[in-house]
Each structure stands twice: as structure tokens, then as C-alpha cells.
């Protein structure tokens, strides 16, 4: 194994759904590489590997520190992102582009599909006997990467969800009724669970939380809501966009005309259909005979969860840190990998980074562990203790 840096250029790209801090990871990679003398140019891929294969690159070598700081306050993917999921042939084209541009360092910021692309590109370069140090840098609001305490992007999205649900609980108490908030998370319930951070007092919402890990039963859902509504005169419900029936069929997907992306994922976000459908069902089922239907509203929190410009300070710092750490590890020798966040202390919260193997994380999905799930419609205190240190300070509201 080669020790230390190898002579050549570096490339960095962003992939998948944007987050509030994916640009902080980009800034971290750039600043981590700027100190490495062996590295010629630091190149940015426009729209991920799609840009790389078309030689659509931007020179980031001399990005000033002020711009790096500004990137850390900028949501979404400043280089542009892509939904392309490269297969072997595509990865061969990626590798050819790297060889063409004398690239020896390859950094790709994204979720589990992105780590899989890194893994394949790495294999292709290994087979060609070309030293390409491939690094996956984690990013996903879903928090569904294995081998990570949590992933950059999640804390800021969780912060938005918590603040939104806090305010919405006040709104729901002002004008009592039933309020459904649809929250992102196709397979993993971590983001929906973050709605529990909104609670301060026993009557605060959300009163019910539905994650994809627990099979969703429509009759039980209606009963749950009726019980809370009867007792409090109101009910705030957090529902994951990814709720599934007992057979694993996504409830939202059944309601939405099946557009799929290149990864075969049905489009769940960017539509209000699931919330509207659930609201309609509750209104119909909970209208007393001859009486007035209850006031039922649904909000689909939408893209603001991933890009609202109020990131968690912990998240910004860690997202930048994983980027810088990846650059440092890549410069240290002929290694590849992904970077994992490891929690080293609970109170006060402390965390560090470590390199893990690409194959450990690639194309795998983490779900909410059992100890975070309470019955069929709530999360545990253990989850709250896990998530609360990540989101930064939350507001405190007055009650009369």
C-alpha cells in the first residue's frame, strides 16, 4: 500500500436529494484537500457523475475560505445533484473520465445508492490497476445508512420537523380539530419520529406517530385518532410518507399514480395525496350520524424538510467534519471507504469520525431499532434522548 498522498487531481460530487448541509460536506472536502501538496486540481462534478462522464467539471482548487464558510450556510447541492444510479457500464465511464482527467481522488457525497456507486467505481479502478482513492461521504435526511450513529442532513431535517410540529401543535390547540402532518422517510421512520421532539407538556402534539417500521392498519389508525380526539378535543398526527400495510405495500404508493425514479423508487414526496386521502377517510369515519364532520386538515411538510435554511449547528459542523476527514484519510494512503459518525459521549453529546468499508454501507438501509418504537403509534424516550442532542436549541413557547 502506498503511504501518503499520491500525485494527481481530485474530484468531488453530490448525489441524491439535497439537504441543508450537503454543501458543508463539500466545503469540508475542499478545505481538507487544499493542504495536500500532491494534489493538483480539486474538481467539482456538475450534477454528480452525470457531469463527470460528460467532462462537465468546475475547478474548485482556489475556493477562498469565505466561500467555504458561505457554502456551509447554503442549502441544496451547490454543484448540482443527480438521481442517476450508475450500473457497471456507467461506472466504467466514470472510471474512464477519472483516468482522462488524471483523477486519483474520488469523493461522492450521498446516500446508500451513492455509496454503492463508489463501491463499483472502486472495483473497476482496482481491476484496471489504477490507484483511485474512492470515498463515499454520507448524506441523507432519512438517516438510513448503516454503521452510522446518524447521517449528516438528518439533524437539520429533524430540527425542521420538530419546530414545525411544535408550532403546529400550538396552531391545532388554537383552532381544535384533527391535523395530519406527512413527514419524509420512505423506509426509515427517523424523521417522522423527530416530531416527538416537539413535545414539552403531556397534552402537546403530536399525539400519534406512525413510522414505516410498524405495519399501518387503517382501522386502528381511525380508532387511535378517535380516542385522542374524544379525550382532548383535538389530535395532531405525524405520519411517515412511507407507511406500509402488513404486506409491505406502501400506502402512499397505492394512492399515487406510479411515477418512479431511476432507482425504481415511487415518488412519495412532492405530492399531497397521502395526507389528503387520510384526511378524507378520517372526516368520513368520524362524522357522527346526522352531525357535523370534524375539522380535519393535512399538511405535507415537503421539501422544506430537506432545505429550509435553519440548519442544526451540530449538523453543519459534522457535515463539514466528515468531508474534511474523508480528504485527510484519502491523503494518508491508498485506502477507500465511507466515513461514519460515531457518538463517543451522551451528555454532553460528543462524536467522532471513522473510516468504514464501502461494502459495509453500500446499498444497505438502516431502520428504526425496536427500542425506539413504542407500540403501534409512538416512539420511546430512548429515541428522544438519541435525537435531541442533534437538533440544536428548540424554542420554548408560553402557555396561558
Q: How far is the CB of 353 from a second copy (least distance, A)?
A: 24
Burial bucket for residue 276 (CB in 10 Å: 0-12, 13-18, 19+):
middle
Q: Which listed residue (116, 142, 168, 181) is catalytic?
A: 142
Q: Which of 40, 215, 302, 352 touches a second copy (CB under 8 A)? A: 302
Helix axes 22-34, 313-332, angle to 10 degrees: 40
Q: Is 55 helix (H, G, I), strand (E, B) or coil?
A: coil
Q: Which of residues 77-116 bind a second copy (CB under 8 A)?
A: 77-83
60, 109, 197, 326: residue in contact with a second copy (rule CB under 8 A): 60
Question: Residue 207: which of 233, 174, 244 has the closest Cα?
Answer: 233
Evaluate the omega torsion of the peptide bond into residue 137 and state whether it is cis, within 30 degrees of 0. Answer: no
**Terminal alpha carbon distance of the chain:** 67
| Of 159-167, 210-218, 313-321, 337-345: span binding a second copy (CB under 8 A) | 159-167
Compute the Cα dihedral for 359, 60, 103, 326 and give only its sign: negative
Q: What one-character DSSP code corresponds to residue 250? A: B
> By CB under 8 A, which span of 33-41, 104-112, 206-214, 268-276 interacts with a second copy?
268-276
DSSP H helical ranges for the chain: 22-34, 49-53, 65-71, 88-100, 112-127, 154-174, 190-193, 218-232, 251-255, 273-285, 304-307, 313-332, 358-361, 381-387
Q: In this chain, which of 297, 343, 364, 374 binds a second copy, going by CB under 8 A?
A: 297
Residue 63 or 380: the one with the smaller Cβ distance to a second copy is 63
Of 236-255, binders to a second copy (CB under 8 A) are: none
> Is 270 a residue that touches a second copy (CB under 8 A)?
yes
Size of the site for a second copy (CB under 8 A): 65
Q: Which residues are bridge partners to 263 per DSSP? A: none
Is 294 a binding residue for a second copy by CB under 8 A? The answer is: no
Q: How far is the CB of 174 from a second copy (least distance, A)?
A: 4
Is 201 marked active-site?
no
327/341 with CB nearer a second copy: 327
Which residues are at the interface with a second copy (CB under 8 A)?
A: 14, 17-18, 20, 23, 44, 58, 60, 67, 70-71, 73-83, 163-164, 166-168, 170-171, 173-176, 179, 259, 267, 269-273, 275-276, 279, 293, 296-304, 306-310, 395-400
> Catalytic site residues?
142
Amino acid at each position: 500500500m502506498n503511504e501518503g498522498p499520491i500525485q494527481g487531481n481530485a474530484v468531488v460530487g453530490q448525489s441524491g436529494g439535497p439537504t441543508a448541509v450537503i454543501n458543508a460536506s463539500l466545503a469540508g472536502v475542499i478545505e481538507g484537500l487544499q493542504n495536500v501538496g500532491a494534489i493538483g486540481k480539486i474538481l467539482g462534478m456538475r450534477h454528480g457523475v452525470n457531469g463527470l462522464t460528460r467532462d462537465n467539471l468546475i475547478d474548485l482548487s482556489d475556493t477562498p475560505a469565505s466561500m467555504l464558510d458561505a457554502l456551509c450556510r447554503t442549502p441544496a447541492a451547490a454543484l448540482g445533484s443527480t438521481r442517476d444510479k450508475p450500473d457497471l457500464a456507467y461506472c466504467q465511464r466514470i472510471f474512464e473520465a477519472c483516468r482522462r482527467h488524471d483523477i486519483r481522488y474520488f469523493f461522492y457525497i450521498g446516500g446508500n445508492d451513492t455509496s454503492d456507486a463508489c463501491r463499483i467505481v472502486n472495483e473497476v479502478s482496482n481491476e484496471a490497476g489504477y490507484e483511485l482513492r474512492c470515498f463515499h461521504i454520507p448524506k441523507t435526511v432519512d438517516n438510513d445508512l448503516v454503521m452510522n450513529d446518524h447521517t449528516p442532513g438528518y439533524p437539520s431535517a429533524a430540527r425542521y420537523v420538530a419546530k414545525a410540529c411544535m408550532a403546529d401543535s400550538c396552531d391545532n390547540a388554537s383552532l381544535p380539530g384533527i391535523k395530519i402532518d406527512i413527514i419524509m422517510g420512505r423506509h426509515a421512520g427517523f424523521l417522522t419520529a423527530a416530531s416527538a421532539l416537539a413535545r414539552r407538556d403531556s397534552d402537546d402534539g403530536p399525539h400519534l406517530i406512525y413510522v414505516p417500521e410498524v405495519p399501518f392498519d387503517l382501522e386502528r389508525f381511525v380508532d387511535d385518532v378517535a380516542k385522542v380526539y374524544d379525550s382532548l378535543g383535538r389530535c395532531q398526527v405525524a405520519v411517515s410518507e412511507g407507511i406500509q400495510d402488513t404486506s409491505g405495500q406502501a400506502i402512499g404508493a397505492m394512492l399515487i399514480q406510479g411515477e418512479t425514479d431511476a432507482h425504481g423508487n415511487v415518488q412519495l414526496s412532492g405530492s399531497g395525496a397521502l395526507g389528503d386521502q387520510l384526511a378524507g377517510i378520517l372526516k368520513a369515519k368520524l362524522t357522527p350520524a346526522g352531525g357535523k364532520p370534524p375539522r380535519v386538515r393535512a399538511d405535507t411538510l415537503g421539501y422544506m424538510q430537506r432545505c429550509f435554511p435553519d440548519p442544526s449547528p451540530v449538523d453543519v459542523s459534522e457535515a463539514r467534519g466528515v468531508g474534511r476527514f474523508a480528504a485527510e484519510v484519502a491523503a494518508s494512503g491508498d485506502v477507500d471507504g465511507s466515513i461514519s459518525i460515531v457518538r463517543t459521549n451522551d451528555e454532553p453529546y460528543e462524536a467522532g469520525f471513522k473510516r468504514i468499508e464501502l461494502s459495509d454501507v453500500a446499498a444497505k438501509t438502516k431502520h428504526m431499532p425496536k427500542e425506539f418504537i413504542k407500540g403501534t403509534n409512538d416512539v420511546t424516550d430512548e429515541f428522544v434522548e438519541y435525537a435531541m442532542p442533534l437538533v440544536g436549541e428548540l424554542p420554548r413557547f408560553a402557555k396561558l
